[in-house]
Structure 1
Amino acid sequence: MSPDLILPHGDILPVFASRPVWCGRRSTVIGQARIGAQAWLGDDSVIRADGQEVILGDRFWLGHRSTVHIATLDLGTRVGDRVSVGRNAVVHACTVGSDVVIEDEAVILDGATVGDRIVLEAGATVFPRASLPSGFVYAGTPARPVRPISLDEVTDRAERLREAAGEGGAEAPSDPLEVEESVFVARTASLRGRILLGENATVLFSCALDAEVGPIVVGARSNIQDNTVIRTRGEGVVIGRETTIAHNVRMADCRIGARSLIGIGCTLAPGTVVADDVMVAAGATTDPGQLLEGGHLWGGRPARIIGALDDGKRALMARIVDGYVSHGRDFRALQDGLS
């Protein structure tokens, strides 16, 4: 058994130590990934090593709609043995030890180090460059130690997480969608209804865009990253040009301006309006109808202003947009080569 989609990056294909125990529907592995023995990859899971290495130890379990990625320019991801990741979680450009449980909706961010014998509870966020010492349960945003934990309890939590995984959510087949030559839509993405993708837009692996009620409009040079889910139940969703929607975002019936970034694992409630030139920190949420004014970094649950959108952050956001335009071009050529 192998993932539904395997693609190289820079002519480098993923390497598996042995045949995976399971690979779910629309599972994707890309690039410089080395995956240990007895791996289990859930439905719509994504391992993307397109610029740096991803090294995953033996008995790695990746839950449905979860994502493992790198920071393209400078940080890979390294994970030890016997690590279990729940549903809709993100492991991003970080180091994770052995005997670790990362529960549903949890996020580990760039440069973080997670020790051995750890449980990261559901919905927790490990901030960039944070260090989590071994032997504790961690919870919250940012993740903080709750209590010590034994190896036996870690093993028990891992077994319970796997037992609760069940079947992944089956997405209906995509509707036929005409896009111009510069647009990339991953083969494992599901797009339904009235969707308009601007020039050089990118919709990555295992995204689900459901526009059967209201439309979804994505501006030129904008990117929607792996496992993001956008659903319309009323007025629809509009995303401005040169905007990044990061991994595993959830949103419905909202407006997002130009040159903005919605961080990993965010949830935008219906009626949210994000102005131009906004950065929303990973794991943030919004209240229904909330307005996020331009020129600021927003974060928290619900989101609040936590800083100015300075020149450094603006430059970072522009680099991400440029990088994903390039990724989209490369991925489209590789995907077209499979047909």
Structure 2
Amino acid sequence: MNPEMTLPYGDEAPRFESRPVWCGRGSTVIGAARIGAQAWLGDAAVIRADGQPVTLGERFWLGHRSTVHIATFDQGTTCGDRVTVGRNSVLHACLIGSDVVVEDDVVILDGATIGDGAVIEAGATVFPRSDLPGGFAYAGSPAKAIRPVSPGEAAERAERVRERSAEGIAPDTEPPGETDPDVFVARTARLRGRVGLGAGASVLFCCSLEAEAGPIVIGADTNIQDNTVIRTRGEGVVIGRDTTVAHNVRIADCRIGARSLIGIGATVAPGTLIADDVMLAAGSTTDPGQILESGHLWGGRPARILAPLDAGRRATMLRIVEGYCRHGRDYRRAQDEMAG
């Protein structure tokens, strides 16, 4: 069984050492991904190697709505053998040893290294460039060692993670309808209800945008990255132009300004107002009705001001937007060629 969608990126196409054991609905593999024997990919699992390689060892298990990605200009992602990843987790430009268990709702960020036999407990955030030795259980944000892993514990917890994946999420993966030629919507994304996309906007693989009540309005050149879920049950969601919403973000009825960045695995609660020119750090949450003022890096649970939004961070945010505009054009062309 093969992924529902595979696409080359540049001259690189995904390569599996052998046919995967299972590929769920909406599963997507892009670019220079090299995946070992006996892989298991859950529903809406995304592996995206568009600019750097992703190398995954034997018996790699990627749970439902989880994402493996790279830092386009800097670093790929490498995992050893028998790595198990739960639901709604993100491995981003990191190095992971063998026999590691990454439970549900975990974010592992750029440059992090995790040793053999470690367990990353549910809800943890591994900060950039962290070095977590093997043989320990880690929890919290930032993830810290809480105790040694007992003999056989990692294998037992891996089995529990896999058992929870017996019931899929059954995403609706019917191709989206016709969109403006300046817009990219991945074939494995799901858009329902009143969803408006500005010119140059992109909605990437396995995203779910559900306007159950109020509308969802996405500004020009804004990118919504893999496995992000936006759902309205009230007034709706409005996101300004030139904004990045990273992988596996959860957004309810709110307003997000222009030129902002919502980090990997963040949660934006109903009634939140995020001003223009805001960076919300990966793994952060907002409180219902919270206001995030312009010109700052916010982070934490709940979010608080961490630092000014300096020139370096602003330049990074702009570079991401420009890169995703290019990605959108490239992916639309590749997707159209595959369909044609």
Separation (CA, whole Å) in 1 of partners of 2:16 and 2:174:
30
How do 1:145-294 residues align onto structure 2 when only pairs under 5 Å count? 145-172=145-172, 177-294=177-294
Any conservation in 1 of the 2:297–2:309 contact (CA below 8 Å)? yes
Aligned-residue offset at 1:179: 2.4
Within 5 Å, which residues of 2 pair with 1:1-339? 1-172=1-172, 177-339=177-339
**For the Cα contact (< 8 Å) 2:240–2:258, is it kept in 1?**
yes
Q: How far off is 1:134 after superposition? A: 1.1
What secondary structure is seen at the aligned counterpart in 2 of 1:213?
coil
Q: Deviations over 1:124-145 (max 9, x none)?
A: 0000001001110000000000
| 1:213, distance to aligned residue in structure 2 (A) | 1.1
Contact 1:27 1:46 in 2 (8 A): yes
Flag as ranges the 4+ runs of structure 1 deviating above 3 A. Answer: 171-178
Cα distance, 1:178–1:18 mapped onto 2, change above 3 Å: closer
Post-superposition Cα deviations, 1:9-55, rounded to whole Å, max 9, x if no partner, equal: 11211110111000000000000000001000000000000000000
> Is the CA contact (8 Å cut-off) linking 1:175 and 1:191 kept in structure 2?
no
TM-score, normalised with respect to structure 2: 0.98
Distance in 2 (CA, whole Å) between partners of 1:52 and 1:171 is 28
Unaligned runs of 5+ in 2: none
Mark the CA change 1:298 to 1:173 in structure 2 (over 3 Å): closer, same or farther. same
Counterpart of 2:224, as a letter, is I
Distance 2:28 2:259 in 1: 28
Aligned-partner Cα distance in 2 for 1:93–1:172 = 29
Letter in 1 for 2:81: D
Give the letter aligned to residue 7 of structure 2: L
> C-alpha deviations, 1:73-132, integer Å up to 9, x for none?
011000000100000000000000001000000010000001111000000000000100
1:54·1:70 contact (CA, 8 Å) conserved in 2? Answer: yes
Opposite residue 163 of structure 1, the aligned amino acid is: E
After TM superposition, give the deviation of residue 164 of structure 1 in Å.
1.4
Counterparts in 2 of 1:174 and 1:269: CA distance versus 1, 3 Å: farther
Quote the Cα distance in structure 1 between the aligned partners of 2:175 and 2:12: 32
Q: Distance in 2 between matches of 1:174 and 1:304?
A: 39
Q: Single out whichever of 144-153 and 167-176 deviates more from structure 2.
A: 167-176
* Alpha-carbon separation, structure 2, partners of 1:90 and 1:112: 12
What is the SS of the residue equivalent to 1:162?
Answer: helix
Whole-angstrom distance in 2 between the partners of 1:177 and 1:246: 24
Q: How many residues align?
A: 339
Distance 1:233 1:147 in 2: 41
For residues 191-248 of structure 1, give each alpha carbon's deviation from its aligned partner in whole angstroms, at most 9, with x where no partner exists: 0000110000000000000013110000000000000000000100000000000000
Q: 1:53 to 1:180 in 2, by over 3 A?
A: same
**Structure 1: how far apart are the matches of 2:261 and 2:99?**
33
Percent pairwise identity: 70
2:193 & 2:307 partners in 1: Cα distance? 38
How does the TM-score come out when normalised to structure 1?
A: 0.98
Change (3 A) 1:174 1:293: farther
